[in-house]
Amino acid sequence: MTRLLIVALGLVVTLNSEPALGENNDATAKNIVFVILDDLRFDGLGFLTPEVQTPNIDQLAAEGVYFSNAVVTTSLCSPSRATILTGLTTQNHRIVDNNDTTEEGLVFFPRYLQEAGYETGFFGKWHMGRANDSPREGFDRWVSFAGQGHYYPVTRSDGSNNLINVDGVHVEQQGYITDELTEYAIDWLENRRDPNKPFFLYLSHKAVHSDAVPAPRHRDQYRDTKFELPETVAITDDYITGKPMWVKNQRNSWHGIDFFYASDRKMTDYLRDYYGALSSVDESIGRLRASLEAARLDDDTVIVFYSDNGFLVGDHGLIDKRNAYEASVKVPMIVYAPGTAEVGKENTTRVRNLDLAPTFLDIAGVAKPAQFEGKSAWPLVTGEKNREAWGEPDFLYQYYWEWSFPMTPTSLAITRGDVKYIQYHGVWDLEELYDLGIDPEETVNRINDPAYYFIRQELREALYAGAANPNGENAIPYTPRLAEGMNLRDRNGPSAAAFPHSWLVQPNRPDKLMGLIPDVPAKKKALDEGRLYMPWLQGPEDE
């Protein structure tokens, strides 16, 4: 649709449509449509990767604001969704992995919208609480399913199909899940909701989670397409020496490029199905927009396009998500808000999933609850604030080890400005430090670079302080172990990684205790001068 037509529709809305009325009688309340995908890579859109065909999403970006530096505070389905819904970080909402079954005490942001007079609808993948698909507080309409759901109906032992929970009543899944969820959403939009209330539509697609299955009409869409993998997929001496052992070891695992999903499939081949499945989502966006336009709601409705986490396709030899590398933590984010100042622009501000709940409430004119940890990104969309004025917070990242996928360790990271520091817990391995300003691909681990000595220590301290819970406690949460987990490796693939060269030493070194001494300025001074730093042997002037 052209800009001119949107402006024309806007005028029609002003003249003919009834104003949306909340309990506060706010005639200007905006409707909100939130479309969230599962595991869509940050650059997995046509306007960013030419091989990918997503005309409707490209158009949404061209007519909206594209956030090129959107990130998630935990790159895993359930924890990220819990953060989006509660406005809390993982250490505080405590949904630490996909095995967690409780949502006890959590308040989901749509409840605040209901209280402000909004009608709310949830459609699709909830992915918390395992087998519990029953309606959750905060939603007037509920269409969901347990766990991961299915791309196509699957026949159960009693002969019926797998079930979808519609407002507490189970019905069978009829067809391809992306199309079916879109139809449920549009049905609510057009026929079921109260037209006198502003609405919040939460459309949560199963696509494009593994194993991605396209609709029949998209099965051959990319048959002849040659997708390229990231440059960091290559093993080179220069590159691989700076990486922790667990990264090298994960290459040959369920979540590694050399044995991904324990198959001999090539990632370049898998991406044909991945992006084929994305095409139904792209059509879904087109259908939603057409429905809004037909109802003359387009001008009063903000659309937010998002993914619950990133997805690696061979970056650093890894696939899937969980780790703290850029392709894992970055997600595609578009905010379509007609009439706002930043339309058609890219915004480079680092906006977190933690910031979504405050943003939605801000759009609705609802005050931010005290427990929310993020900040509204709406001033970035309206142009009220630029990146600098908005005041980008530190980006704290946390992923807690899962027994089910034991190859990725507990990963804690903090990014301040361009510098990212990563620390692992419970595993004997290297820390990492990247200067994203000069090394966006994270190819040079600067953890032992003297130029980053002080920022390294500053970030270690800030990370520890930021990862504490409201009681000031630093605790690593975990859930019950139920089985061995995905330990399979290709017996013909790469063997275990060697220890870092710098760790291999002769016995009886005089500096053998230096690794225990905190990295204080006096230690740096001693190292610069080629001296040992042993505080218990030296005078106060050396401290």
Which residues contribute to the site for Ca ion (CB under 5 A)? 38-39, 77, 308-309
Which residue's CB atom is positioned nearest to Ca ion? 77
Nearer to Ca ion, 144 or 301 (CB): 144
Minimum CB–partner distance for residue 40 and Ca ion (Å) = 9
CB of residue 385 vs Ca ion: minimum separation in angstroms? 30
User: At its nearest, how many Å lie between Ca ion and the CB of residue 308?
Assistant: 4
Q: Which helix (H) or strand (E) holds 434?
A: strand 432-435
Which tokens sit at 433?
A: 């430090």
Give residue for tokens 């759009």. Answer: 363
| Minimum distance from residue 323 beta carbon to Ca ion (Å) | 14
Minimum distance of Ca ion from residue 312's CB (angstroms): 12
Q: What backbone torsions phi and psi does residue 327 show, to the nearest 5 degrees? A: -70, -15
Nearer to Ca ion, 146 or 433 (CB): 146
131 φψ region: left (φ > 0), alpha (ψ -120 to 50), beta (else): alpha
Nearer to Ca ion, 59 or 89 (CB): 89
Q: How far apart are CA 162 and CA 15, in angstroms?
A: 46
- Whose Cβ is closer to Ca ion: residue 326's or residue 342's? 326
For the bound state, the minimum distance from the C-beta of residue 58 to Ca ion, rounded and expressed in Å, comes to 22
Pick the closer one to Ca ion by CB: 252 or 280: 280
Q: Which is nearer to Ca ion, 309 or 479 (CB)?
A: 309
**Shortest distance, CB of residue 265 to Ca ion, whole angstroms?**
20
Residue 32 contacts residue 200 (beta carbons within 8 Å): yes
**Minimum distance, C-beta of residue 54 to Ca ion, in the bound complex (Å):** 18
Measured between alpha carbons, how far is 204 from 81 in angstroms, rounded to an integer? Answer: 10
Q: Which residues of 291-305 are buried (b: 16+ CB within 10 A; e: fewer)?
A: bbbeebbbbbbbbbb
CA-based nearest residue to 365, from 88, 22, 122, 10: 22
Q: Which is nearer to Ca ion, 299 or 315 (CB)?
A: 315
Burial class (CB in 10 A: 0-12, 13-18, 19+), 169: exposed
Nearer to Ca ion, 38 or 119 (CB): 38
Edge-to-edge strand order for the sheet containing 419-425? 395-399, 410-416, 419-425, 432-435
- Looking at residue 189, its amino acid is L
Least distance CB 309 / Ca ion (angstroms): 5
Amino acid symbol at 89: T
Please identify, using beta-carbon distances, which residue of 39 and 63 lies nearer to Ca ion. 39
DSSP states of 200-263 as a string? EEEEE--TTPSSP---GGGTTTTTT--PPPPGGGS--HHHHTTS-HHHHHHTTSTTBTTSGGGS
Provide CB contacts within 8 A for 202, sequence distance 6+: 34, 36, 110, 120, 121, 122, 123, 124, 139
Burial class of residue 340, CB neighbours in 10 A (0-12, 13-18, 19+): middle
